[in-house]
Amino acid sequence: RDRDVTGVQTCALPISFYSAYCLLHGVEQHDLGAVKDGIDFPAIRESLKEQLNTQMAETVSNEAKTNMFAAFGGMIAGALVDRMVETMVTPQGILKILQSKEAQGATNFADLLVPDQNHSYAFESSDRFIVRLKDKGRLVGKLIWKRSGLLTWKLSDIEVSRLLTSQ
């Protein structure tokens, strides 16, 4: 069974890399079409809402022990988080966010596919490809591509929970 998965992964490796490269290169070139084609926006929105609301609930739960207004603030903040994610996680929103990062001197996004001390990549299964993002050797997030059809891969999840808890 392991040999079958390895064989599938070997065949999928160039295609998944090419899909990831097209998306990351499209981001660098501000190519709205490449961003639209390379990202599963509904899946990413739901994942980000869940991660952010989970973190918010944990923070509110801790604060509610000493602050009676924390629960009320948490309800309002949860609604704002959902609205913010819906507004910002669009092809245009992603490009605007990344353009501001470029102005701050961020590295080339396509370089994420070259493993070094700040990122690595691996197949979690035959239809799930992950780029692990690190800061000073510590895992802080993941970019997760999932196979969409036979030969297409899309960025389907961005795991940011470690970024939220590392502050």
Kindly report, residue by residue over 105-142, the tens digit of the pLDDT.
Answer: 555 655 665 666 677 888 888 888 888 887 777 788 88
Tokens, residue 9: 């992964």
96 pLDDT band, cuts 50/70/90, is confident
pLDDT at 4: 44
Q: With CA atoms as reference, report the closest residue to 44 among 164, 153, 144.
A: 144
Kindly report, residue by residue over 47-89, the tens digit of the pLDDT.
Answer: 999 988 888 888 777 777 777 777 777 778 888 888 999 998 9
Cβ atoms of 148 and 154 closer than 8 Å: yes
Tell me the angle at which helices 41-64 and 70-88 cross, rounded to the nearest 10 degrees. Answer: 160
Q: With CA atoms as reference, report the closest residue to 160 among 128, 135, 123.
A: 135
Tokens, residue 112: 């994420």
pLDDT at 167: 46
